[in-house]
Amino acid sequence: SLPSNSHSIVRRPSLLPSISLVIVLLSIFIPLVLIFLLMLLLCWCCHHRNNNSHLSTCSSTPIKKSSHLINTVTSSPFRASITTNIHKQNSRHIPSSSSSTNTNFTNTYLRQTLLKAEAKHPNIHHHSLSENSLCEIPFTNIRFLQELGEGDYGRIYKGELIDNSNKCIIKTLQVEYATQQNRDEYSREIEIFRHIRHVNISCLLGICIQPQDAISIMIYERLNDGDLHEYLLQRSTTISLYQQRDLTDFLYISIQIISGMIYLAEKNFVHNDLSAKNILISEHMDIKISNIARYRPKYDTDYYKIANRSLPVRWMAIESLLSGIYSEMSDIWSFGVLLWEIFSYGTQPYYGRTNPEVIEMIRDRKLLTCPTNCPKRIYAVMCSCWEELSEQRPTFIELMKRFRQFEEKSATLSSTTSSSLVDVQPVGNQGNIQTPKYQTFIAPPTTSSFVRNDTLPTSGRNAPQSVVVDRDSIRFEV
């Protein structure tokens, strides 16, 4: 008989328990390794970000368009866009709406401005070409030339940078003004202006802090030839008659102002004091918008003190005067008055009238009349800026398009009187639509104490009396 195989078969141990154990261990170990690697990656990113943030000596926190910024600097013409009463000075915010306007030249100007600043100020500690960067300027590199006036935090000076003789405006925070409120407002102004970079705006070049003297200094750009008001007065004495080149130059100046104001509007800022005295100009007629005229004693009569605030009533929109509403449209009104100043060669708006009288005249819609020899199409733009309803006024983007058209026509037309832009009469809507008439006014010069003496017209230009103008006869044709 055959032997039984039951005892000859060797049983091998099963591998299933060991394989299951390995799978369990791997399912625990692999996620732990992945989590550990992820944590290392996050730590490295945070460390790298912190290192980059310390590359600049002055750290910055960008102001987003959608953020709200309380600006209690009541005398600063640059402020967040607001719709509020002028007496509610502690509740001004930037609206949380993004701007719909966009231009091709804004980013180009921004980059050009930063590159020029880097080239012109090699000794300034300028660490990055970013919009929010801020420079620290050594005190030994600043030369004080002339006192311009007294600001909210200290004296304001005309100066220059010693290393390259570039002109600048110096705003100081001095010991006697260094209350906590002034310190906060001073810091807020720095925080606002560090985000403003445009070739046609007097930008903040940097700051200088001297702890031992308890003084802080802000350095702004300045041009060589004073302000636009002074330039226009000087130009009015060098010519006897209106010339075609005046129109070309005035259009060039106006386009630059519009360019700077488009940038401010995109940033949701309102200037609130747009006038010829706040436009810096160079010998080549390059301009920069500034905000220091209110601190200069020579322009005291341009401001009227209401509720402890100095207001430029001759340039203010009707809604700003009556309701305290400020917006891009109120700056549009001021730009219309600025245009009138340009084509009047620096004459003070409503000259010969006191500030309270000016307020009543604006309330009664007695507006400025067309300056002598001003092109009718330019005056039509002025009147569109003075529309009583702000939504009927053009935006700065629309004004840029119009002035580009004017510039092209001025370049192609001959300088003869018969073909110049001055004599091109606009074609209004002569249909059955009835539009109301309104009064425009320029008073003759008087000895009123409110008259700015250096702005009275020369004997060669007599101001017209109050007249009634038909709006159809001056309407701009697109």
At a CB cut-off of 8 Å and minimum separation 6, what does 98 contact? 65, 66
Evaluate if residue 104 carries a pLDDT over 80.
no
Compute CA distances 17 → 12, 13, 28, 116, whole Å.
13, 10, 17, 75
Q: What average pLDDT score do residues 168-193 get?
A: 84
Helix (H) or strand (E) holding 209, with range, is strand 204-210
Query: Using CA atoms in the order 441, 447, 449, 453, what is the torsion angle rounded to 10 degrees?
Result: 80
137 token code pair: 């300027």
How high is the pLDDT of residue 398? 97
More confident residue, 457 or 150: 150
Evaluate if residue 40 carries a pLDDT over 70.
yes
Total-model pTM = 0.64
Helix (H) or strand (E) holding 259, with range, is helix 244-266
Measured CA to CA, the distance from residue 232 to residue 250 in angstroms comes to 10
How high is the pLDDT of residue 129? 33
Task: Judge contact between 312 and 321, C-beta under 8 A.
Answer: no
Q: What angle separates helix 244-266 from helix 396-412, to the nearest 10 degrees?
A: 160
Residue type, 416: T
Please tell me whether residue 307 adopts helix, strand or coil conformation: coil
Residue type, 16: L
Residue type, 451: V
How high is the pLDDT of residue 151? 84
Angle, CA of 317, 318 and 322, to the nearest 5°:
125
339 token code pair: 């245009």
More confident residue, 459 or 207: 207
How high is the pLDDT of residue 125? 33
CATH code for the domain defined by 103-221: 3.30.200.20
pLDDT bin (cut points 50, 70, 90) of residue 115 is: very low
More confident residue, 328 or 26: 328
Measured CA to CA, the distance from residue 350 to residue 56 in angstroms comes to 49
Bridge partner list, 156: 149, 171
Angle, CA of 56, 58 and 63, to the nearest 5°:
105
Q: What average pLDDT score do residues 132-153 get?
A: 84
Lowest mean pLDDT among 223-227, 437-441, 473-477: 473-477
Phi-psi region of 4 (alpha: psi -120 to 50; beta: other; left: phi over 0): beta
Evaluate if residue 442 carries a pLDDT over 50.
no
Residue with tokens 């502690």: 90
How high is the pLDDT of residue 376? 93
Query: Using CA atoms in the order 376, 322, 91, 190, what is the torsion angle rounded to 10 degrees?
Result: 40
Concatenate the DSSP letters of all residues of 346-377 into one string: TPPTTTTS-HHHHHHHHHTTEEPPPPTT--HH
Question: Catalytic: 286?
Answer: no
Q: Could you tell me which CATH class the domain 228-474 is placed in? A: mainly alpha
Sheet of 438-440: strand order equals 366-367, 438-440, 467-469
| CATH 1.10.510.10 domain extents, the chain | 228-474
Measured CA to CA, the distance from residue 94 to residue 438 in angstroms comes to 35
How high is the pLDDT of residue 186? 85
More confident residue, 390 or 28: 390
374 token code pair: 């001003």
Q: What average pLDDT score do residues 447-470 get?
A: 33
Residue with tokens 């009396």: 465
How high is the pLDDT of residue 133? 60
Residue of 244, 219, 37 whose CA lies nearest to 143: 219
Measured CA to CA, the distance from residue 396 to residue 403 in angstroms comes to 10
Measured CA to CA, the distance from residue 289 to residue 274 in angstroms comes to 8
Which among 152, 227, 273, 302 is annotated as catalytic?
Answer: 273
Lowest mean pLDDT among 2-6, 115-119, 398-402, 431-435: 431-435
> pLDDT tens-digit profile of 372-384?
889 999 999 999 9
326 token code pair: 């400020």
| CATH 3.30.200.20 domain extents, the chain | 103-221
Task: Judge contact between 370 and 310, C-beta under 8 A.
Answer: no
More confident residue, 435 or 343: 343
Query: Using CA atoms in the order 369, 352, 316, 377, what is the torsion angle rounded to 10 degrees?
Result: 20
How high is the pLDDT of residue 377? 94
Q: What average pLDDT score do residues 136-151 get?
A: 89
Lowest mean pLDDT among 159-173, 234-248, 348-362, 408-422: 408-422
More confident residue, 470 or 142: 142
CA atoms within 13 A on the CB side of 475: 13
Residue of 101, 153, 91, 67 whose CA lies nearest to 326: 91
pLDDT bin (cut points 50, 70, 90) of residue 214 is: low
Evaluate if residue 476 carries a pLDDT over 70.
no
Q: What average pLDDT score do residues 190-219 get?
A: 84
